[in-house]
Amino acid sequence: MEAAPCISQIAGLLAEPKRIAMLWALMDGSAKSSEELARLAGLTPASANAHLARLIGSGLLRAEARRGRRLFRVAAADVSHAIDALASTTLASAARASPDAPLPVLAAPPALRQARLCHGHLGGELAAGLYARMRAAGWIERYEQRLDITVKGAHRLASLGIFTQALASPLACDCFDWSQQHPHLGGTLGAGLLQLFLQSNWVSLVNESQALQINAVGHAEIARLAANE
């Protein structure tokens, strides 16, 4: 129980709405000035600087000088992971509390909406579109609550260098995350596809964030997967 006070200290910092608003604005890996963060969080410059000082002092943010300006960014990837987990838990707990109610929409920075890391696999709009195409093309089929890779899907994936028989369980599952209202592919197959995209240099990580940057070749190649079948 000795660790509990340390956990509560960080939790208390993240619980303040204005501070989490500034951290949320930096989740895409960007660096922003105190003036910009103050405007985004609805704070006066003096209040923003006070909050930023606490976030830097706690190790959640870091400051850097760029062309005479002082900019702020997330200090490390674990900070982004923690905020991402809180966002996911927000939606999951809302779904458990009111199963028939629509889920709240968490407005994400555009880079996170497009493509992001989600529990070790690809999330965001790009992932949801790919998953929909894979199901429509017959690569994946649902049997009650279970997802299975079809013979056709296994053959197509093998041609990409992903051998489903070598992957651990769970191979495929629906995954919902806070940046999308539609599911994307989870499981070891989802992780394998992300590794393929990274190794092919189609996507790349953005600083210490959850955001993924997709280049032009990556957009074209991923859009071709499971399309027109």
Residue ranges per structural domain of the chain:
4-75, 110-224
72-107 pLDDT tens trace: 999 999 999 999 889 888 888 988 899 888 877 788
What does pLDDT average to over the chain? 91
The reported pLDDT for the residue numbered 2 is: 59
pLDDT > 70 fraction of the chain, expressed in percent and rounded: 98
Q: Which tens digits make up the pLDDT trace of 122-141?
A: 999 999 999 999 999 999 99
What is the C-alpha separation between 210 and 12, in angstroms, rounded?
A: 22
Cα(59)–Cα(225) distance, integer angstroms: 41
The count of residues in the chain is 229
Helix axes 77-97, 4-15, angle to 10 degrees: 80
CATH for 4-75 (3.40.50.10470, 3.20.20.70, 1.10.10.10, 3.40.50.300): 1.10.10.10
Q: Which residue blocks in 16-76 are alpha helix, DSSP H?
A: 17-25, 34-41, 45-57
Does 3 score more than 70 pLDDT? no
| pLDDT of amino acid 157 | 97
Query: In the prediction, which pLDDT does 143 show?
Result: 86
Strand partners, 185: 174
Q: What is the pLDDT of residue 180?
A: 76
Backbone angles phi, psi at 28, to 5 degrees: -85, 5
Average pLDDT (188-198) is: 96
Whole-number pLDDT of residue 75: 95
pLDDT at residue 5 tops 80 = no
Average pLDDT over residues 166-188: 89
